[in-house]
Chains A and B, each alone.
Chain A
């Protein structure tokens, strides 16, 4: 199971986690989902993913978590090389303005989803963020064209063309 791009969901309320993962199921054909109930667990999971030779493409993270909060977790992950490029999204109804500003400035937060979310909006964000990830990491976009933003991926092919052979 090498070279996979994971989606990491960090949420402490189990029912909410359940609903989130259910809504993300369609991505799992290309992006396996990992879950964690706390920041500490999330860090372990990230380490495990990296150790197995895969990467974390997208982190969806609640703010109010046991122990370290979501924003602090994202800031920490931003400061680590292995997760610097991972796209970071806060999924919360609870982060105050100050926390959010922190997240944007220090964790390079890529998006903010307010609870309650709609499936369409969630999908949209996930698609765009993972597309960004694939393009920024200069990964071969072909395997992802059917599930992510095909237009943008095709556009990226123009900048980093595949060649005839």
Chain B
């Protein structure tokens, strides 16, 4: 047992009070199950924000509480009431193996094998070559490669790998050259941004897709990329310009000495093949119609059958991320089913806001929240509200369910003001080459034009694509 800090004690107490409190108040317009749902929501929100327990632990706690208090097999609702038709416990447990989780698992296995056989580093080496030796193009190259890799690997793992690339470069650059800061910042920023590009890029995407699929809306892998990639490219490009402007390099040229060669063992070649086939199949889902989660099983099956990944590799996979996402999706189920989300939505006077205002508001809230909280948690807490708002029809015609979910998902990834905002930021700051204020300034600017861009996309681009 570890000891709790003061903040954690407060979190623990508040969370438990939040869980119990709705039992003692009768809230008008909210069913009995809604009260319980609200309690669980309070607990989850407080636990996720103040982290008295790890966030993935909160997620399984949420699933357990839902089964205990809200499922047909639980302690309270063994029979349906007029206001609440309880789900079977399998609905909650099922989130742990929902298609998006399996999709992520596939992504994890691919990424893990890629790291194991140094595919990520070798790709970086190849891809950086065309960018020459001018600092500004090197920065661009680093950002493009980082974004590309983080679209298929975890943002954090990508950042860690890229740090091993840039740390020797930074060490050779004069201490007074702002380029050092630019280099150290471009990596985490590009990783955060690149993560938006694919469903498996970062967990908030999974929450968006998972929640939507609970609504019966399926977003194929390729469709997500069509929605997200243009935004990623624009944000990446603007971030590049911003970093060059803020941290103007004084060095004329820098030398990248990335030596190494592709691993050509049988296992490695098989991995390259599986990687290529899987990504191709994912991207072309609309052509062949095979679900991305099913495709995701290909690397899992092939790489484990051929022992390209071993028992030890499987143990090292970030399983807790899957718990985290599953908990988020599960929370969404009961928020909708108990009428809680609808109650929250109706209790706010939405009509006074226009559609655009609401998109801006959700985007801004998501960015602000996820600067302090986990991106996934932000998406988890906000998306059920947005979903209810959209399905209730209160928000009007233009307030599309998919668009608002994607807005939240994307915005959650655009938070990069503080070291604690995302793990890639934490890695960058820990190298000691930059100060928090450098990161905060640049991150703030990105946040602001992020909100603007997301809004523009939500209004002009995404509706066209979705129709």
Which residues of A are interface residues toward B (Cβ below 8 A)?
141-147, 150-151, 154-155, 157-158, 160-165
CB pair A162 B423 closer than 8 Å: yes
Closest to A144 in B: B430
CB pair B375 A164 closer than 8 Å: yes
Partner pick for A161 among B154, B163, B202, CB 8 A cutoff: B154
Partner pick for A154 among B155, B422, B427, CB 8 A cutoff: B427
CB pair B375 A154 closer than 8 Å: no
B contact residues, range: 20 to 34
Which residues of B are interface residues toward A (Cβ below 8 A)?
55-56, 115, 154-157, 160-161, 163-164, 167-168, 195, 202-203, 316, 318, 320-321, 324, 374-377, 422-423, 426-427, 430-433
- Chain B binding surface, main DSSP class: helix
CB pair B430 A165 closer than 8 Å: no
27 inter-chain pairs at a CB distance below 8 angstroms, sorted by A residue, are A142-B426, A145-B431, A146-B433, A147-B432, A154-B160, A154-B427, A154-B431, A157-B160, A157-B163, A158-B115, A158-B164, A161-B115, A161-B156, A161-B157, A162-B156, A162-B160, A162-B427, A163-B154, A163-B318, A163-B320, A163-B321, A164-B203, A164-B321, A165-B56, A165-B324, A165-B374, A165-B375
Q: Shortest beta-carbon distance, B166 to chain A, in Å?
A: 9
CB pair A165 B432 closer than 8 Å: no
CB pair B375 A150 closer than 8 Å: no
CA distance A90 to B56 in the complex (A): 44
CA distance A157 to B158 in the complex (A): 10
Closest to B112 in A: A161
Q: Contacts A143-B430, A150-B432, A154-B427; is A164 near B160 (CB within 8 Å)?
A: no
11 more A-B contacts (CB under 8 A) besides A161-B160, A161-B318? A146-B433, A147-B432, A151-B163, A151-B164, A154-B161, A157-B427, A158-B164, A162-B156, A162-B423, A163-B423, A164-B155
CB pair B154 A164 closer than 8 Å: yes
CB pair B164 A155 closer than 8 Å: yes
Of B168, B422, B431, most buried by chain A (CB within 10 Å of CB) is B431
Q: Shortest beta-carbon distance, A27 to chain B, in Å?
A: 13
